Amino acid sequence: MYQIEEPKYFYYFIAVAILFLAYVINWLWKRKKQKEFSGSALLNRLSPEKSVFKPALKMVFMVLGFSFLILALVNPKMGTQLKTVKRQGVDIVFALDVSKSMLAEDIAPNRLEKSKQIISKIIDKLGSDRIGIIIYAGNAYPLLPITTDHGAAKMFLQNANPDMVSTQGTAINDALELSKTFFDDDTQTNRFLFIISDGEDHEENSSEIAKEILDIGIHTFTIGVGTNKGGPIPIKNNEKFVGYKKDNKDEVVITKLNVETLKDIAKNGEGKYIYGNKTSKTIEYVEELLLKADKKEFESKQYSDYKDQFQWFLGIGLLFLILDVFLLNKKTGWVQKMNLFNER
C-alpha cells in the first residue's frame, strides 16, 4: 500500500526529460562534427585520456539524482503507522434567545448580535470541548447537536435569527427541557448550559426546571444582554426600518433586561448570572470557569496512517548527484587496464 502526498511535482519530470534529450542531441551533434573534422584514430591520439563512457555515465547519474529528488518532493507514503488520538474536554450547550425583543438596540449593534459575538468569542477560547446550540423564542429548537466542530458551530450561529422560530415569546422552560437531550454522554461529569437572553416575557417554573436538570449534572449559567433602561423593538421589512413595535394601545413597546429572572435560574442551577454587556469580562469569566473544570477523556481513537518515505529518495538522489560531481571525464587507470568498455 502506498499514497502520493504531492503528485503535482511529477510535472518536474518533464524538465528532466528535456535535460536528457538536450544531452543526447548535443552528443549526436558533437559526434557528427568530430567525424567531419577527422577520423577516430586521430581523435584518440589528440585526447588519449578522454573517456567515451564516463560522460554518458555522468549524465545518467545526474538524471537519476534529479529524478529521486523529485520523488522526494512527491513524498510517497508507504506502510502504515498506528496512531492514537485522545481528546479531553467538557460539554457546553448555548441556549440563545432569538425572540423579537432581542432586536432592541439598547446594546450595539443589538442584543441578538451582541449575544452572537459573546458565544463566538467563547467558542474561540475552547480547546477540545464539545458544544451544542439551542435557539428559542416561543418554542425551543436544536440549531446544532453537540459536536467538536467549532467551525460549524460558528457558521450555524451566524444564521440564527427570529424568523427561525414561528412563535414569539421567551420559552426558557422549553430551552431547559431540550438541553436534557443534548448531553448524550452519560459519563460526562461536567455539563454546562449557558442561557443568553434579556430574560423578558419568561415563563414560570424556570427555576424548578433548572433544579431538575441539575440532578442529571447540568449546571445552568445565564448571560444577560440588554439594559435596565431598555429600548424599543425595531420592525424591519427587507432590512429597511419601518417603525417600532407597539402594543394594543398604539404605544411603543419598551423592552428591558429582566435581571432577577436570570439570576434566579442561575442560582437554582448552581451556576451564576453573568452581565453580558461587557464582552471581554464575560469571556474572561467563562474561560476561567472552563479552565478550572475537570476535563473528561470523551474521545480516544486509533487509526492507521501512512509513513513518510521522502528521506530515502532524498538520500539516494543526493548520492547520485555527489557521484556525478566526483566522476571525471578522463579514463580510469585500473578500469582502462581491465578494458571493460573496449576503450583501448
pTM, whole model, 2 decimals? Answer: 0.62
Report the pLDDT value the prediction gives residue 50, as an integer from 0 to 100.
59
- Whether the predicted pLDDT of 333 surpasses 60: no
Q: For all residues of the chain together, what is the average pLDDT? A: 82
CATH code of the region 86-300: 3.40.50.410
- pLDDT tens-digit readout, 91-123: 899 999 999 899 999 998 999 999 999 999 999
Q: Calculate mean pLDDT across residues 8-37.
A: 83
Report the pLDDT value the prediction gives residue 40, as an integer from 0 to 100.
59
- pLDDT tens-digit readout, 124-161: 998 888 899 999 988 899 999 988 889 999 999 998 99
Selected residue with higher pLDDT from 61 and 96:
96
- pLDDT tens-digit readout, 191-249: 899 999 998 766 678 888 889 899 888 999 999 999 999 999 998 887 788 889 888 88
* Domain spans, the chain: 2-75+309-338, 86-300
3-state SS track over the chain: CEEECCHHHHHHHHHHHHHHHHHHHHHHHHHHHHHHHCCHHHHHHHCCCECCCHHHHHHHHHHHHHHHHHHHHHCEEEEEEEEEEEEEECEEEEEEECCHHHHCCCCCCCHHHHHHHHHHHHHHHCCCCEEEEEEECCCEEEEEEEECCHHHHHHHHHCCCHHHCCCCCECHHHHHHHHHHHCCCCCCCCEEEEEEECCCCECCCHHHHHHHHHCCCEEEEEEECCCCCCEECEEEECCEEEEECECCCCCECEECCCHHHHHHHHHHCCCCEEECCCHHHHHHHHHHHHHHCCCEEEEEEEEEEEEECHHHHHHHHHHHHHHHHHCCCECCHHHHHHCCCCCC
- Whether the predicted pLDDT of 334 surpasses 50: no
Selected residue with higher pLDDT from 180 and 84:
180
